[in-house]
Amino acid sequence: MQPAIDRGPLRDTLPRTRTMAGFFKSLFNKITNRAEIDWDELEADLIGADLGVRPAGAIIDELKDLGRKISAEDVVETARRHLSAKLPADAPALAPRPDGKPFVILVVGVNGTGKTTSTAKLGNWLKKKGHPVVLAAADTFRAAAVEQLQRWGDRLGLPVVKGAPNADPSSVCYNAHQKAISDGAHFLLCDTAGRIHTRHNLMEELTKIRRTIAKQDETAPHLTLLVVDATTGSNALQQAKEFHKASPLDGLVVTKLDGSGKGGIAVTIHDQLGIPPRFIGTGEEPDAFSVFEKDKFVQEIL
Ligand code: GDP
């Protein structure tokens, strides 16, 4: 009989548990049905689950040190402990600014990661908590992104500030900031740079946006979030490095955790760059979005 394993509180909410249940099942079969553990294969499986090469090696070493026949639970429990040690505590809550000015969030990331969708989802999440929100459609390079954010705004009842096609993203952010201030919005979310032509361009664009936003509130922007697609594996680490050099990042939105993405990339990014996960995206619908919670996240990865 297979042992009952706590698959975590997200079990019933995330379709991707199918993937992870598959991972556990194959692990269970390999470990239970064989006389000898194939350590190389086990290490490859852990790396394949996006746990990273170094952490996978450390997990294997610790399992070998047990000096007895290991079980699938040993592997999962040891891996969870390692992951947990590498992740930050739960993200601090987002709160409106005490001075009454909008809390300004820049959302950055490569096209296709789910940046525009995540901006809308975050706006929806904040609105549901009772906060007035303004969205800035500042990913002006991709005309479809502006229309897409507008559609989200219409659907979710969130005001969207946009510019003319190919408008300067900074001026869109400036106008949106002005509206957010005059409307008394608690949060301004700017859907920004979605391209990396060169690092220089990216840095220039983000620096200009930051400078423009600071004109109306020198403490802004207050948070810069990078959206990473969990299904892209180590590519996401490279993107985080590039964006972090261009503009300091405060946190990650890890998207597509309902797909083949395993989330291990968030552990690697935090481990290597110190950028914590703040939110996770688990689908295309507005409510498929939640705040990062370490224990749930670790249970979901394994
Ligand atoms: P952007 O180019 O980075 O702004 O990306 P979009 O917001 O346009 O998203 C790209 C695609 O990914 C769209 O089809 C979204 O519906 C989809 N998407 C975004 N977030 C998620 C997610 O968490 N899960 C899934 N399955 N799809 C997502």
Distance in angstroms (rounded) separating the CA atoms of residues 138 and 194: 9
Write down the pLDDT at residue 250.
Answer: 97
Residue 136 lies in a domain: yes
Write down the pLDDT at residue 18.
Answer: 37
Residues 52 and 123 placed together within one structural domain of the fold: no
CB of 263 closer than 6 angstroms to any ligand 1 atom: no
Write down the pLDDT at residue 22.
Answer: 58
CB of 101 closer than 6 angstroms to any ligand 1 atom: no
Residues 131 and 22 placed together within one structural domain of the fold: no
Distance in angstroms (rounded) separating the CA atoms of residues 225 and 292: 13
Residue 55 lies in a domain: yes
Write down the pLDDT at residue 35.
Answer: 79
Residues 115 and 190 placed together within one structural domain of the fold: yes
Residues 182 and 232 placed together within one structural domain of the fold: yes
Residues 82 and 108 placed together within one structural domain of the fold: no
Residue 4 lies in a domain: no
| Domain-terminating residue out of 86, 117, 138 | 86
Domain count, the chain: 2
Distance in angstroms (rounded) separating the CA atoms of residues 278 and 226: 10
Asked whether 289 and 125 are in contact (CB, 8 A), the reply is yes
Residues 54 and 151 placed together within one structural domain of the fold: no
Residues 145 and 215 placed together within one structural domain of the fold: yes
Write down the pLDDT at residue 143.
Answer: 74
**pLDDT in 10s for each residue of the chain, 302 residues:** 333 333 333 333 333 333 445 566 677 777 877 878 889 999 998 887 777 788 889 999 999 999 888 888 898 899 889 889 889 988 888 999 999 999 999 999 998 999 999 999 999 999 999 999 999 999 887 778 899 999 999 999 999 999 887 789 999 999 999 999 999 999 999 999 777 656 668 788 899 999 999 999 999 999 999 999 998 877 899 999 989 988 899 999 999 988 776 788 898 899 899 999 999 999 999 999 999 999 988 887 77
Residues 122 and 35 placed together within one structural domain of the fold: no
Residues 181 and 212 placed together within one structural domain of the fold: yes
CB of 229 closer than 6 angstroms to any ligand 1 atom: no
Asked whether 135 and 120 are in contact (CB, 8 A), the reply is yes
Write down the pLDDT at residue 23.
Answer: 65
Could you list the residue range(s) of the whole structural domain that residue 167 is in?
A: 103-301
Residue 10 lies in a domain: no
Residue 24 lies in a domain: yes
Asked whether 133 and 127 are in contact (CB, 8 A), the reply is yes
| Structural tokens at position 8 | 């975590």
Residues 112 and 242 placed together within one structural domain of the fold: yes
Residues 74 and 125 placed together within one structural domain of the fold: no
Cβ density class 64-97: b for 16+ within 10 Å, e for less: eeeeeebebeebbebbbebbeebbeebbeebebe
Cα 50 to middle of ligand 1, angstroms: 20
Residues 79 and 158 placed together within one structural domain of the fold: no
Ligand 1 nearest atom to the CA of residue 227, by list position: 3
Please count the CA atoms within 13 angstroms of the CA of 258 that sit on its side-chain side.
14
- Please report, for the domain that includes residue 158, its CATH number: 3.40.50.300
Cα 228 to middle of ligand 1, angstroms: 10
Partners of 228 in beta bridges: 254
